[in-house]
A and B are shown apart, each in its own frame.
Chain A
Amino acid sequence: DIQMTQSPSTLSASVGDRVTITCRASQSISSWLAWYQQKPGKAPNLLIYKASSLESGVPSRFSGSGSGTEFTLTISSLQPDDFATYYCQQYNSYSGTFGQGTKVEIK
């Protein structure tokens, strides 16, 4: 099984900050990685797929990069609506393992 590890688990930041979340895979997954945002009591929302492709309707302040085993999600200027939990998900294998999540909190 491919394991996904996110860091940090929690991140405290202020509005306007540049925020970076890292996701590492236990083996190479090429670019088969997605990022989701989840707010309390809501379903996840797809932000990025294929490591760096922005889903339609997602603000351009979100970007993804990486390939192989190391990936990042960057929010260029944190907005009040961005305080949430973020998950990476690999879909290289015939499954879809998620990372454990990164909670972005208000500093």
Chain B
Amino acid sequence: EVQLVQSGAEVKKPGESLKISCKGSGYSFTSYWIAWVRQMPGEGLEWMGIIYPEDSDTRYNPSFRGQVTLSADKSISTAYLQWSSLKASDTAMYYCARRDIVGATPGLYYFNYWGQGTLVTVSP
């Protein structure tokens, strides 16, 4: 069974750093692109970026480039989303999601498996 299990909720202060995780199991982790999607409170879904764990090829939504960093450790089948300096506006639910299509070819980014979400709260 394919599963993406995300790390638990975080409460942080502005200016702090944070790294959240998404562990894949039940499939070949290195063969599928993993995306991160933001959902701010009461709002819709925003595609942040995507990474191919085999070689860490990474693509960012221009709106998020420079604001976050995507990474992956294929030895432990885990993808990461990190911030170096959080802002109150980073308060949101963050989902990881696996691309439906196998392989390294970029594009066709739609997702058939999702993590349960990690709630990040940034407050003074």
Contacts and interface: CB of A to CB of B under 8 A. Distances in A.
A100 B110 contact: no
Interface string A91-102: 101111111110
Interface string B48-84: 0010000000010110000000000000000000000
A34 B44 contact: no
B115 A43 contact: yes
A11 interface: no
Contacts of B106: 94
Decide if the interface of chain A is mainly helix, strand, loop or mixed. Answer: loop
A9 B100 CA distance: 27
A96 B117 contact: no
Contacts, number: 59
A87 interface: yes
A19 interface: no
Contacts of A82: none
B69 to A, nearest CB: 17
Interface of B: 35, 37, 44-47, 50, 59, 61-62, 95, 97, 100, 106-112, 114-117
Interface of A: 1, 32, 34, 36, 38, 43-46, 49, 55, 87, 89, 91, 93-101
20 contacts: A1-B62, A38-B45, A43-B95, A43-B116, A44-B37, A44-B97, A44-B111, A46-B110, A46-B112, A49-B112, A55-B112, A87-B45, A89-B45, A91-B109, A94-B59, A94-B106, A95-B61, A96-B47, A96-B50, A96-B110
